[in-house]
Amino acid sequence: MGEKSIQKKNYIIVKAREVFQEKGYLTVTMKDIVEACEISRGGLYLYFDKLSDIFMEVLRLESEEADDVFMPAISESMSSADILALFLQEQKKELLRSKNSLSRAIFEFNFQNEIPAKENSLRKQFDMAVKVIERLIIGGNEEGDFRCEDPRGAARNIMYVIEGLRISAQTIGITEETVNREILYLMKSIAA
């Protein structure tokens, strides 16, 4: 596949992402992608064999971009408490994007198969996030901003609340006020 077709592949991924944002995963068809890309039926198969392959590429691109956005921010000299607050603000933004997020598609995709824990990338992301938050809480404890006896427990609690908000955004709906309130509650519970 030449340079040119890599561009096209990326174009397809971008368009496909819009479709997944719109419709989730399970109800999306190859035809939907084809129409969104305005290419021929057969054309799509030059780049992807299955819908799941497209979706996984969408996710890969997504996570690459996510790193690009967040990583720079924390490289500066901020207190742990500030970084955690920043992290939660990022989460808030994404939670409120709801309609423009892949959350629903990701849920539907991951419902599908029994994914062995080892390959479960959602699980990896979750565990990674818990670790990062735990560090920040420990850091915050040392810096005097937090007073939390169980940093790991608190980190897990924070992540489950975020997951709860994420699924709620897709089902019962959430407002900015709701997210603010929950974040405030979480911060208070570990504040000094």
Residue 138 sits in the site that holds DNA (CB under 7 A): no
Closest approach, Cβ 4 to DNA, in A, equals 6
Tell me phi and psi for residue 191, to 5 degrees. Answer: -70, 155
User: Do residues 127 and 172 make contact, with C-beta atoms less than 8 angstroms apart?
Assistant: no
- Given the complex with a second copy, which of 43 and 153 has the nearer CB atom? 153
Interface residue with DNA among 26, 45, 67, 93 (CB under 7 A) is: 45
Interface residue with DNA among 10, 14, 26, 41 (CB under 7 A) is: 41
Largest Cα separation within the chain, whole Å, is 61
- Given the complex with a second copy, which of 79 and 157 has the nearer CB atom? 157
Q: Which residues of 161-172 are buried (b: 16+ CB within 10 A; e: fewer)?
A: ebeebbebbbee
Give the C-alpha distances (Å, rounded to integers) separating 70 from 1, 65, 75, 191: 31, 9, 9, 24
Out of a second copy, DNA, none, which partner does residue 123 contact, by CB within 5 to 8 A per kind?
a second copy
User: Do residues 130 and 156 make contact, with C-beta atoms less than 8 angstroms apart?
Assistant: yes
Residue 43 sits in the site that holds a second copy (CB under 8 A): no
Question: Which are the contacts of 190, defined by CB distance < 8 A and separation ≥ 6?
Answer: 137, 140, 146, 147, 148, 154
Out of a second copy, DNA, none, which partner does residue 31 contact, by CB within 5 to 8 A per kind?
DNA
Which of these ranges, 33-41, 84-92, 112-120, 160-168, lies near DNA under the rule CB under 7 A? 33-41
Rounded CA separation 65/11 (Å): 15
Which of these ranges, 2-10, 57-65, 86-94, 105-113, lies near a second copy under the rule CB under 8 A? 105-113
Interface residue with DNA among 10, 40, 89, 180 (CB under 7 A) is: 40
Q: Which residues contact a second copy by CB under 8 A?
A: 24, 26-27, 104, 107-108, 110-111, 117, 120, 122-123, 126, 150, 153-154, 156-157, 159-168, 170-173, 181-182, 185-186, 189
Q: Which residues bind DNA (CB under 7 A)?
A: 1-2, 4-5, 8, 29-31, 39-43, 45-47, 49-51
